[in-house]
A and B are shown apart, each in its own frame.
Chain A
Amino acid sequence: MPQITVAIIGNPNTGKSSLFNALCGMRTRVGNFPGVTVEKKVGTYVDGESTITIVDLPGTYSLSSRSADELISVDVLMGQCSDAPPIDAIAMVVDANHLERDLYLFSQVAELDKPTFLILNMWDCVQASGLKIDIPKLSDRLGIPIVTTTANRLIGIEDLRSTIRSLRIAPPVKIVDDLFPLPFREEVHQLSNWINGQGHMNRRYLVERLLLDVDGALETRWATKPRLNELSQRLQIARKRLEVANFQVPFIETKVRHDWVREILANVVGRTTQFQSTASDKIDRVLAHRWWGLMVFVAMMFLVFQALFADLGFVSLNDMINAGLAWLAGMVEIIVPPGTLRSLLCDGVIAGVGGVLTFVPQIATLFLLISIMEDCGYMARVALVMDRWMTKIGLNGKAFLPLMTSFGCAVPGIMSTRTIENARDRLVTILIAPLMSCSARLPVYTLLITAFVPAKGLLGGWVTLQGLFFLFMYALGVFVAIPIAWLMKRFFFPSQPSPFVIELPRYTWPSWRVVAHRVWEQVYSFIARAGTLILCTSVLLWAAAYFPENHLQEMELAHRIDEKTVAFEASQPLSLDEKSEKVLDPELKELHAQINLERSRLIENSYLGRFGKTLEPIFHSVGWDWKIGVGVIASFPAREVIISTLGTIYSLGGDVEATDQGLHQQLKAATWPDGKPVFNIVTALSLMVFFALCAQCAATLMTIRKETQTWGWPIFTFVYMTGLAYFGAWLVFNIGSRIIG
């Protein structure tokens, strides 16, 4: 079966994701390019006999090599990235309304000597505005095929597919003859000869980049190759010569490319000569306004967090998942006799992993709302509105967007800091990004808030108290990040906030395909984590809490309870409310009390219990018992593990009657040895504050390591956040206890 691999490249906001989605649907894989924190998206589709692979490269204004992240796109396109398939053809996506801007990148792509074609996206806008583009003429001038599409409405996708089909036979085309003036070309030629002479293959585009990107990542990479240690020196001399000849590097590049674009577009694009105010401009009078914009943004965040707690059907969805899990546990209890295996399945796997899965609806909702804001073009306005405030802590508005992404997950958040040009600003943003409350904290907040904050409606039921607590927990990370960023900017990386330039895309209706796909990606990765990392820690923790005690007596009691329950239910007419009837049987009640006593003895004497008891003083000063303490320690690899560890601990050692009613009932039922409840609102808050501030995520720390290329920064992040978390929890517990009395 013939294979063909096409890379998609384009400027930001050209609808690249919509196109990628329209072509590949759900058949995509998202990963990382090796060594850099750039997202790698690969999708496939079958077209007749052939399989087409699409590699989606990050949106960029320029194919340069200044940073390692930018260089990766060049590597992929030139087939020098070991982790990406060799590229057969390049599909360049442009916003048809902004050819002037987008063809700049095209002039670079065209120099790579690969079969290339142009996709004029957002074609419906061109038609609606009456803009005239002479496509045959443009296609003729460039010597390449041109396709027009409206990706978000799936228009032109078939044309696109057939263009890709016919590309197989098209020979490599030479689109751009040497753009640069003769002296520049001579320098490139000389350098290229010298590099060849030292025994290294090279391509013209790469040598151009070496010359143009002063101190860029490509220069660093090449200068360490054997016999090329003179490279930087030679580059400097060449740049000096060019400057004397009045061709200043790097501005010679922008000049020749923009001139080329102008030439290509002459008599191709008809222009109106008057400024036209657009609907987006009118919307921006509010959304981008200094105060109105800020208010709208805060209101939107408020609505997002209210929506997570509003009764929009998620609650019943959560109940359904819970009921499903209880049913599964019931089946296991029927099939598997009481013993180690039953305990492993019910207490370890179902109580552990299953508990985490009940939070999928909330996570999907959060990502749905964030993706909609991203896809309709609102995020650029958020950066604009926040710029004023971000400069006060020494950052610029662009740094706010990775922080917004971090509300979903810090890993893509840290990855998206590549849009911040200034290296110091970028580092500070990376270091505070894990303070934003990510979706893995959501289960923790949800569990504790539903259990310990009364479900009270305020302002006539429009606002819920639980929603307010939720908003508070999310705001906490932000408010702590402000002084941290300020301190770091002031003492570690003193520099002015970098200038701020961002493009404001037109507002569009979000494409539901793109949004659905993004939500699915996140939900899938959450479930995948539950199936791997969380499953492992659950089983390990279960083992630590189960062994080395002898469970014979407990098993016998469980047997008797099973028999009694069956006998009791047979003697009673079927009733809807079984649980309350069970309790009515005095003999069964006595057995339950016995088994609960036995269970707490067993868990306290287990390895986990002994370990937890030793550390209890540390937990005590923030108001936790040893069970919460070990749960917290076990969740350092990934914070959502706390749900499964608490599930396992309370399922093993907890009250059997509460087991069927979900984890939050068990937490409510937990007591200190003296009979006082472990949890009240203050303990719950102290635990939540700890989770809000603590660096309990191995994936985030690894991403920081990858991004900063040192172990120092991830260690620093871990230490400062954990210290802050313990201090915060201590503060909340001590002040809170005093208030409550």
Chain B
Amino acid sequence: MKSEKLANRILLSDLKAGSQARISAIEGDEAVRHRIEEMGLREGEFIRMLRSEAPQIIAIHGRRLCIRMNAYLQIWVEPDHSQAFFGESACPK
């Protein structure tokens, strides 16, 4: 089961703009990961890629985060082709 999951996952930076995915793993430096998880970016969350060139812009729960990964931080995602679920609560203004 684990290998199946691994086969499916790609780096966040390889996700195309406009597509959605589920975060499957966050790897890298412990302190960096702790901070990022505090900001709400963690395994299991759904995100949508808004801009795929580095630094990437993603939407998560109606917020916009800007991320550039490197050796201290890698975010792995599983693309979500159904695009069914997306928790949104964005201000229209």
* Residues of chain A at the chain B interface (Cβ within 8 Å): 61-62, 64, 66, 97-98, 100-101, 104, 122, 125-126, 128-129, 131, 214, 250-251, 253-255, 258, 269, 271-276, 278-281, 284, 288, 290, 380, 383-384, 387-388, 391, 396-397, 421, 496-504, 506, 508
Contact = CB atoms under 8 A, between A and B. Distances in A.
Interface of B: 20, 28, 30-42, 48, 50-51, 53-55, 57, 59, 61-73, 84-93
B33 A251 contact: yes
B71 to A, nearest CB: 6
Contacts of B70: 496-499
A62 B38 contact: yes
B10 to A, nearest CB: 18
9 contacts: A61-B35, A100-B61, A273-B87, A275-B48, A387-B66, A388-B54, A498-B72, A503-B65, A503-B66
B32 A254 contact: no
A387 B92 contact: no
B2 to A, nearest CB: 16
B82 to A, nearest CB: 12
Nearest to A383: B66
B62 A502 contact: no
Nearest to A288: B57
Contacts of B20: 275
Given A387-B66, A421-B35, 18 more contacts: A62-B35, A97-B62, A129-B91, A272-B89, A273-B85, A276-B62, A276-B88, A279-B92, A284-B64, A384-B55, A388-B54, A496-B72, A497-B70, A498-B32, A499-B68, A500-B67, A501-B36, A502-B65
A393 to B, nearest CB: 15
Contacts of A125: 91, 93
Q: Identify which of B36, B37, B84 gathers the most chain A CB atoms within 10 Å of its CB.
A: B37
A504 B57 contact: yes
Contacts of B86: 273-275
Given A251-B34, A254-B37, A500-B55, A276 B65 contact: no
Given A62-B38, A273-B84, A281-B64, A122 B57 contact: no
Contacts of B35: 61-62, 421, 501
B86 to A, nearest CB: 5
A98 B31 contact: no
Contacts of B71: 496
A255 B38 CA distance: 9
A502 B41 CA distance: 11
Nearest to B90: A276
B28 A499 contact: yes
A641 B51 CA distance: 48
Given A98-B61, A276-B88, A380 B34 contact: no
Contacts of B42: 254-255, 258
Contact of A98 (B37, B53, B66, B89): B89
A288 B91 contact: no
Nearest to B32: A499
B66 A214 contact: no
A97 B89 contact: yes
Contacts of B53: 290
Given A104-B40, A214-B30, A499 B57 contact: no
B88 A272 contact: yes
Contact of A128 (B51, B62, B92): B92
Given A62-B38, A101-B40, A273-B85, A280 B64 contact: yes
A272 to B, nearest CB: 5
Contacts of A255: 42
Contact of A499 (B40, B65, B69, B88): B69
B68 A500 contact: yes
Contacts of B59: 275
A274 B88 contact: yes
Contacts of B39: 61, 101, 501, 503
A73 B73 CA distance: 27
Contacts of A503: 39, 63-66
The 5 closest A-B pairs by CB, nearest first: A125-B91, A254-B37, A499-B73, A500-B68, A504-B64
B38 A128 contact: no
Contacts of A387: 55, 66, 68
A97 to B, nearest CB: 5
B28 A128 contact: no
Given A214-B30, A271-B88, A499-B32, A288 B51 contact: yes
B61 to A, nearest CB: 5
Nearest to B34: A250
Nearest to A62: B38
Contacts of A214: 30-31
A251 B37 contact: yes
Contacts of A388: 54-55
B16 to A, nearest CB: 14
Given A61-B35, A271-B88, A273-B85, A279 B93 contact: yes
Contacts of B37: 251, 254, 258
Nearest to B28: A499
A212 to B, nearest CB: 8
Contacts of A501: 35-36, 39, 41, 65-68, 73
B77 to A, nearest CB: 15
Nearest to B37: A254
A317 B50 CA distance: 47
A64 B38 CA distance: 10
B93 A271 contact: no
Contacts of A258: 37, 40, 42
Nearest to B54: A388
B90 A278 contact: yes
A250 B30 contact: yes
A274 B92 CA distance: 13
A98 B62 contact: yes
A101 B40 CA distance: 6
A499 B48 CA distance: 20
A7 B67 CA distance: 32
Nearest to B45: A258
B40 A100 contact: yes
A369 B41 CA distance: 33
A504 B38 CA distance: 16
A681 B34 CA distance: 55
B72 A101 contact: no
Contacts of B73: 499, 501
A384 B66 contact: yes
